[in-house]
Every structure is written in C-alpha cells, then in structure tokens.
Amino acid sequence: MKPRDRLVFALDVDDLDVARRLVKDLAPSVGTFKVGPVLHLRHGSAIVDAIHDVGASVFLDLKFHDIPETVAGASREAMRLGVRMFTVHALGGKAMIGRAAAELSRLTLVPGRPRPLCLAVTILTSHDQDTLPTIGLSGLLAANTVRLAKLALDAGATGLVTSAHELAALRLALPDDTVYVCPGIRGPNDPVGDQSRVMGAREAIEAGATHLVVGRPIRDAASPKDAAERILEDIASAR
C-alpha cells in the first residue's frame, strides 16, 4: 500500500469553505479524509461530494451506536453515500454490528466502487487505564480492547479503530487481514491535546497499523501540506 493510501486526514473543521480548501490542498498527499459529526451535521453530503470530486476517499466517522435496526439503516445510507469507511461502536454489541454487516452484504454495489469497510471503535484514545472504571469496564485496557475487537470481527466488522498501543496484543489475537485504523498519531514536537495514547507515524506502521488518522498536527501546522508530506516520509521510512 502506498504511503498516501495509508494516511487519513481528520477534517475537524466546521466551515465548509475551509474544509474544501484543505481537501483541495491536501489531496495529493492524503488518500482519505475523515468526516466527523460536527462537519457532517452542519454540511451533510456537500463535504462528501467535495472529497469525491478530488478523487479521494471518505471515512465517515459518526460512530453508530443504537439498536440494530437503526444502525443497519445508517450503514445502508453510508454505503449509498459512497464512503470508503465508516464506524460503529463495538460496545453496541454483536447483534448491532451483525445487522450492519448483513445490510452491507445485501446491497448491490455500484460498479467500480468497493463495499465500505465497517470499522468497530473499541476504546476511545481519550481513555486510559485510569478512566476505564468510569465507563463501567474493569481489567486491563489491552484486554478490554482485544475482547471488544474479537466480538466486532466475529459479528462481521471489517476492521478496527484502535490506538496503536494495543496493536501488539490485537495482532496476536486476530486474523492477519484485519484492518487497523489508528488515531492519536503525533510527531515528536506535536501537542498531545486531549489524547491519552499517542504514537509516531513510523512507529505505528511498524507496529502493524494499516491506516493512520492525523488531524491537528496537519490542520494546525503553518503549512498543512508540508506537515502531511513529513508524515508521508515517516510512513515510507517504516520497516
């Protein structure tokens, strides 16, 4: 996989013109743009269309977590939008994820457009070992991540959104073709912000990440394009 195809830029802005400008400027370096709830709720499919117009892919990160029927319907609409990836919460359970996967397999593909990847979110990177009890989880963070990952893949999820810090444990427990999309990627001088578990781009690829999600280190740089290119260099240097 080319470095550009591994890089996902988190389009965490709320202004459509700013989003379109970032998409246009970064498309040569970024293969996929992540659209979260703020941008999607404000501008809907307009930003999805803008990303597709430059030949890039869309990662729709709305983290569906509802009753199975509702999540099946949401998955169907994500596929109709033509997104490459979308997220569900692993904590939604096996029945919910299974209905989403079944809905995707039931739908007819548009020629030339692959079926979207249904990615399960295990534990958000804003959590760490100390905060697990506050959300009702006991035991080690890595063990909880593996448990939720197995549940999601058994139910039909294609891959996972997970911190790169849990990749070693996950790769031992899961199939070799599992897709790992890892947020919380930072350079050595980048602020951590509200992320608790972060890692550098090269280290994450070497740990087994298939895709890296980078937001603020690119968005807030003096030159977002140069920042993206530096991350591509780190990805390309991975062993």
pLDDT in tens, 74-92: 999 999 999 999 999 999 9
Whether the Cβ atoms of residue 234 and residue 201 lie closer than 8 Å to each other: yes
Categorize the per-residue pLDDT at 29 as very low, low, confident or very high, splitting at 50, 70 and 90. very high
Whether the Cβ atoms of residue 66 and residue 120 lie closer than 8 Å to each other: no
pLDDT of 199: 80
pLDDT of 108: 74
What CATH number does residue 187 fall under?
3.20.20.70
Could you list the active site residues?
63
Question: How many domains is the chain built from?
Answer: 1
Which structural domain, as residue segments, surrounds residue 9?
3-236
pLDDT in tens, 135-188: 989 998 889 999 999 999 999 999 999 888 889 999 999 999 999 999 888 765
Contacts for 9 with CB less than 8 Å, ≥ 6 apart: 22, 26, 30, 32, 33, 34, 213, 214, 215, 218, 219, 228
pLDDT of 163: 85
Average pLDDT over residues 189-201: 61
Average pLDDT over residues 193-210: 79
